[in-house]
Structure 1
Amino acid sequence: MSVALRHIRAFVLLAEELHFNRAAERLHISQPALSRTLRELEESVGTKLINRTTRSAELTEAGRAFLLEAQLGVGHLEHAVNLARYTAQGIYGELRIAYMDFAINGRLPELIRAFREAHPSIRLDLSFMPTTRQRTALMEHRIDMGFLIGSFENDRIHNYTFDYDSYVALLPASHPLANVASLRLSDLANEPFVLGNSDYWAAHRERLFVLCHESGFFPRILQEASSSEGIFGLVAAGTGVSVYSSCVRNLQRRGLVIKPLDDITRRIPICAAWDESSASPGLQTFTEFLCTHWDRTHDGPRN
C-alpha cells in the first residue's frame, strides 16, 4: 500500500494531539477510521510509529524521526498547492519583459516600480533587447512582453501605446547651433551624424531616415555606436550630431546640448506588445495593471 497525503495529515495531527479522539475530531472522521489510517501508514512504512494506550498515544523513536520529515513534506505540499492556485489567479508568477533604450530611459522604470509595489509576488525578469529582436522573441515565446518602438503588426500580437516621445537633436556643447533659438532638422543636413548601429537601432534609423528624406537630405553617418551611452559620448566629444528621443532629458550628460526640432511634429510611439492568445495569468495581471490602473493614475501616454 502506498502512502497518501491523508495518511501523512492524520499522522501529523495525531502526533500534535497525542490523543485519538481529539485528532479524529480535528480531521472530521471517526476514531476507528483514524486508527485504520494510522495502521495503513505503519504497514506502508514498515514499523510502528505511535504506541497506543487507552487514554493517549505516544510517538515511538521511529515516529519522532518520521514526524520531522512528515511536517516538512506537508508544509511543502501545502505551499505547492497554494502556489499553483495563486499562480493560476495571477498572484504569483514570473514574467519575461524586454525593453529598448527609449523605454528604459523613459517611463518604464516608473511602471515597473509601481507594479512591483502592487504585486510583489510576481517576479519580473527584465532584459535589454532591440525592437527587431523583440518581435522575433515574442513570436518564439522567449519573452512575455516587449517594450519597443512602434507597434508590432501581427495577428497574434496585441499592442498598447505606453508612451510618446518627441524627436530632439543632440549637439556638442561647443557646436555653433547649440545656442540658436530655433532648430530644424534640415539645419543638420550638412552635419556629420552619430547614430546607433543597424544591429541595435534599426527601428529608430528607419523612422529617422524617413524624416530626413522629407527634410531634403540623407544623414552623413560618420560614427556609429551600439548603446545610448556610446552615442552621447561621441556627440559630447564633438564627433558629430545626432537625433534621439526626448527621454534623454531624464539623463544627465556633460558636454551635451539637447535641442527640440521645431519642424518635426511626428512622435516616437513606445508600445507594449504581447501575445494575447497565450497570456499567462501573471501576464494578464500585468496588462490589466498597465491598461487600467497605470492609465488612470498617469493620464495615459505622455504627450
Structure 2
Amino acid sequence: MFELSQLRCFTTVAAELNFRRAAERLNMTQPPLSRQIQLLEHQLGVALFTRSTRSVTLTAAGRAFLVEAQSLLAHAEQAALTARRVARGEAGALTLGFVASAVYEFLPQVVADARTGLPGIDIALHEMNTFEQQEALRARRIDLGIVRAPMQHPGIGCECLLREPFVLALPRQHPLADQEDLGVEALHGQPFILYAHSAWQPFNELLTGLFRAHGIVPDVVQLLGSTLTILALVDAGMGLALVPHSASRIRFENLGFRPIELGAGIRSELYLIWREDNDNPALHALLDAIRQTAGALSA
C-alpha cells in the first residue's frame, strides 16, 4: 500500500508537471523523487504520468488519482490537527451533569462562555440531582458535575464554585413585599414552603437550623424538592419561600423577590466535582473555563 510521502511526491509533480521543480519544492533530489513515483505506479498497477524528453503530463488514471490523493492528504492533515488539538485540550467531548437549579443563571453562562472560548469541545448536558451525579461520576457516565453538596471521596476533586444569598420569594400583594430591612424574624408564623429533606439537598437542614437558632416557627404548608415548583406555589399565594438568589430570574405574574438578612453562613452553594484520574485533556480546559465563569459571576 502506498504511503503519504508518496502521495505528496505525486501531487507535487502533478502540480509542477516537472520533476526538477517538484524535487526543489520537496527539498529532495530528482532521482529519489522519480523512484517514489515509479514505486507508486507499480503499487497501483497504472501509469500516472506520460513522460517525454520535453514534457510530463498526467494520464487519465493520474488525473482521477490526483483528486483522491489530494483528499487523502487533506484528511490526513485534519486528523493530525485534531489529534494535536485534543492533546492540548482544545478539542474533544465531555459529559457535564448539573442540578436543575444551576440553569437559572450559572449553567447558561458556562455553556455560552465555553462555546466562545472552547469551540472545539462538545459538551453533553445531563440534568441529575446531586446523588445521581455522584453515582454517575463513580461509574464514569459523566466527566464532571455541578452539585449542591460537596463530595468527599478519595480520587474525587471537589471545589465550591459559587456562594450566593437566599432571597425571600413572596406574592406581590403580601404585606412583606413593601417592608424595608427584612430579617428572619419576619417569617415567624408565616405560611411557608420549605425544601424537602434529602441527603443530596442541603437547604432543608440549613434553613430549619436557621429557624431553630432564632426561635422562628413558620407555618410549613409544603415540603418540595424543586425550586421551580416552590415558586409556582408562591405565585399561587400558598406561602412564602427562601430560594437562592439566582432563582429570582424566574418570572411569574404574581411572584416577587425581596432581599432578607439571614446572618453569616446562610448561603446557597454550588460545587464542582470530577474524577482526578480522568485523562481527557478537554476536562482541564473546561474546568478552567467553569472557574472563570464562576469568578466573573461572583465579582
TM-score range, shorter chain: 0.7 to 0.9
1:152 is matched with: 151
1:40/1:241 CA distance change after superposition, 3 Å: same
Q: Determine the C-alpha separation between the residues in 2 that align with 1:214 and 1:78.
A: 66
Shift in alpha-carbon separation, 1:202–1:48, aligned structure 2, 3 A: same
Q: Secondary structure, in 3 states, of the residue corresponding to 1:8?
A: helix
CA distance in 2 between partners of 1:219 and 1:125 (Å): 41
User: Equivalent residue for 2:283?
Assistant: 283
Q: Which residue of structure 2 lines up, in the alignment, with residue 41 of structure 1?
A: 40
Q: TM-score, normalised by structure 2?
A: 0.84
Per-residue deviation, residues 162-187 of structure 1 (Å, max 9, x unmatched): 21111223222233443444545465
Consecutive unaligned residues in structure 1, runs of 5 or more: none
1:42–1:48 Cα contact (<8 Å) kept? yes
Alpha-carbon distance in 2 for matches of 1:224, 1:82: 50
Provide the secondary structure at the position in 2 that maps to 1:277: coil
Counting matched residue pairs gives 297
1:269 corresponding residue in structure 2 = 269
How high is the sequence identity, in percent, across the aligned residues? 32
1:40/1:119 CA distance change after superposition, 3 Å: same
Q: Deviations over 1:227-274 (max 9, x none)?
A: x43332222012333221111233333211223342343111212222
Cα pair distance change 1:241/1:200, threshold 3 Å: farther
Query: Is 2:117 aligned against 1:118?
Result: yes
Q: Is the 8 A contact 1:194 1:225 kept in 2?
A: no
Partner of 1:99: 98
| 1:133 and 2:132 correspond | yes
In structure 2, distance between residues paired with 1:199 and 1:286 = 29
The 1:200–1:30 alpha-carbon spacing in structure 2 relative to 1, beyond 3 Å, is: farther
Q: 1:58 to 1:229 in 2, by over 3 A?
A: same
Can you list the C-alpha shifts for 1:66-87, whole angstroms capped at 9, x where unaligned?
1111111110111000100111
State the Cα RMSD in Å. 3.0
Counterpart CA distance in 2 for 1:53 and 1:189 is: 101
Match of 2:10 in 1: 11
* Residue-by-residue CA offset, 1:133-159 (whole Å, 9 max, x unaligned): 222222222222212213221222222
What's the offset of the Cα at 1:212? 4.6
Distance 2:69 2:131 in 1: 52
The answer to which of 106-115 and 200-209 deviates more is 200-209
Do the aligned partners of 1:100 and 1:130 also contact (CA within 8 Å) in 2? Answer: yes
Q: Which residue of 2 aligns with 1:28?
A: 27
Of 134-143 and 78-87, more deviation after overlay is shown by 134-143
8 A Cα contact 1:144 1:274, kept in partner: yes
With the length of structure 1 as denominator, give the TM-score of the two structures.
0.83
Paired residue for 1:251? 250
Amino acid at match of 1:73: L
Structure 2: runs of 5 or more not aligned? none
Equivalence for 2:65: 66
- Residue of structure 1 equivalent to 2:220: 220
Residues 1:186 and 1:13: Cα distance change in structure 2 (over 3 Å): same
Change over 3 Å in CA distance of 1:37–1:234 after alignment to 2: same
Q: Is the 8 A contact 1:132 1:203 kept in 2?
A: no
The secondary structure found in structure 1 opposite 2:108 is helix
**1:91 and 1:122 in contact (8 A); partners too:** yes
Distance 1:122 1:164 in 2: 27
What secondary structure does 2:277 align onto? helix
User: Per-residue CA shift, 1:49-69, capped at 9, x if unaligned?
Assistant: 222222432111111111111
